[in-house]
Structure formats: structure tokens, C-alpha cells
Amino acid sequence: MTYTNLGRTGLKVSRLCLGTMNFGPRTEERDAFAIMDKALEAGVNFFDTANVYGGEGRRGWTEEIVGRWFAQGGGRREKVVLATKVYNPMDEPNDGPNEGRFLSLYKIRRHLEASFKRLQTDHVELYQMHHIDPDLSWEECWGAFEPLVNQGKVDYIGSSNFAARHICYAQAAAAKRNFLGLVSEQHKYSLNCRLPELELLPAAKELGLGVIAWSPLDGALLSGAILNPAPGSRSEQRAKNLSAEDRARLTEYAKLCKDLGESEANVALAWMLANPAITAPIIGPRTLRQFEDSLRAVEIKLSGEALKKLDDIFPGPGGAAPQAYAW
């Protein structure tokens, strides 16, 4: 495994981030334990979760599984750079009007303490706002997060699904407080979803934020399973909705990967790892085999010719704004 700094911090994280969203709803606890054990063995020290993972009626389930894995001891908690999130409502029936899809000092404090109980820990390395709350003032936002850092409950603050302008507003407000502010942005990005190259990636790079890419395989579109899906699988349903243009693009992509001698999934991850703006893509394995297969991505070094062919198959927006469209 290789490592890099999380944004401009001194924190070292693995180039692959283990996403836990499948743990519980799609991956049994014993299998989730096996994946996490294998992750540590392989040098993957960066784990991402969220308080709502587990699904409707079972929100918090995934954090509970991770917590029970930590409770086994053996240095598990000490070896993991743990990231979780806050924003969405939980399933508690009596939480009242302060449990909607938004943030507040009141909610952030309560949800962090609840995550601690589920995760069986007293701190997290990275606490992320799952979405932007346009009605929350940055004075209140940083007034909520800054004490958590000062108290040692949280090491760093990150965002997720923010626009570039939101990151700029956040950092300007943090600077006025002499506070570090955001250190990372978790964002949807893949060969098939390259809009972040216009604004988000350049802004994050200039401001020193690490970018953690979610859905790097675009919901299994780039996994190699869409063109020949298993009967009854989610891929089968998505395959039925493919346009002729998408099918042709994926067919060309599959041929290129075959010529490279690598799987479609690992080429998609290797393409992302070649981008200096990306800290780590989030891999979300359902099985131990899927996790083990993804480790190969770190070893793949795509040639300039291969990168050019990938750009031809999945053309991006043309670079950063405004040069991409203004001249």
C-alpha cells in the first residue's frame, strides 16, 4: 500500500479508502469483520462510514458493526484513521424538529456523541458534513466544530457533496477565526462523472483540501458487470437502461482494459490514483474477494497513451473553468 497526506495536514492515509456502506444491509457482520481485518493486513488504514449507513429503519447499523470490530482489540482502533459523517436524520422516534436534513450546533454535538457510542470510541480522526446546509451560518458551523477539535473529540473537519463556492466560503470564515477549517472534501467523481474537474478539483487543490472520491466505479457501471450482468442483480436492471451510446462506450472501455491486461474496475481506480488532486477513491466492497481484487489498483501505472485513450472514451469537461468553455 502507498500513502499520502490528507490535504495539507500531516496525517498519512492509504491511497485506497475502505467504504463501509454495504456493511449490514448487503454484507453480513462476520464478512465485514473479515474485510476490515484484511484491510489492516494490506495496509489500508483509512476507513469511511456515516451515522446513517444501515438503511431506513436501521440507521446506525454500520457504525455499530465497525464499533464491534474495534471492540475485539488487537490495536484495531489505534491503526485506523476513522471518518464518519453528520447531517441526515436518524431513526429515533422522539427526536423532534431538530432532526431534519440540516445541521446546527445542537445537532452536531448530539450526533457525534451518538456516533461515539455506536463506534465504541471517544474520538474520530475526520468528522464530515455529509451535505451542505445552506441555512447554517458559518459562524454557527465553526462555533460547533472548533470546540470539538479543541477538546480532542475530533482531529479534523471535512465536507462531502459541497460545491467549490461552499468550500471557499467555509475556508474564508475559518480563516477569520484562525481555525484550520476544512481539510478534505468527499465528492462524487469517476471516469463517467468528470464535472468536478471544472470547479471542485481546482478549488480543493488551491485551498489545500484532499479529495476523497465516492462512487469511483459510478455505481458499478465501470466494474465490468454491466455488459454481462448476473440475472437478478442490480447491474442487470441498470444494464436495461443503458443507452446505445453508453453501451458502445463501455464496450470500447472493456476492450481497452483487456488490452491492458487489467480489470475494468482496477483501471478506473488507477486512472483516479494518477490524478494528483485525488487523495483516495472510496472502495465499497460487498465481499472479501472484491476487496482483495481492488488492491491491485495501487500497483497499476497507466501510460500516457492509456490515459489519452481513456480521455477519448470518457471525455471530461475540457479542464478547469473558465478556460474549459470561455476560450
Which residues belong to the active site? 53
Helix, strand or coil, per DSSP, at residue 5: strand
d(CA 112, CA 117): 9
> Bridge partners of 156?
126
d(CA 106, CA 250): 47
d(CA 315, CA 327): 18
d(CA 301, CA 309): 14
Do strands 154-160 and 182-188 pair parallel, antiparallel, or not at all (unpaired)?
A: parallel
Helical H runs in 13-97?
29-42, 61-70, 76-79
Among the listed residues 176, 184, 211, 213, the one whose alpha carbon sits nearest the alpha carbon of residue 9: 184
* Run of H or E including 175: helix 164-176
Phi/psi of residue 85, each to 5°? -140, 160
Are 224 and 263 in contact by the 8 Å Cβ rule? The answer is yes
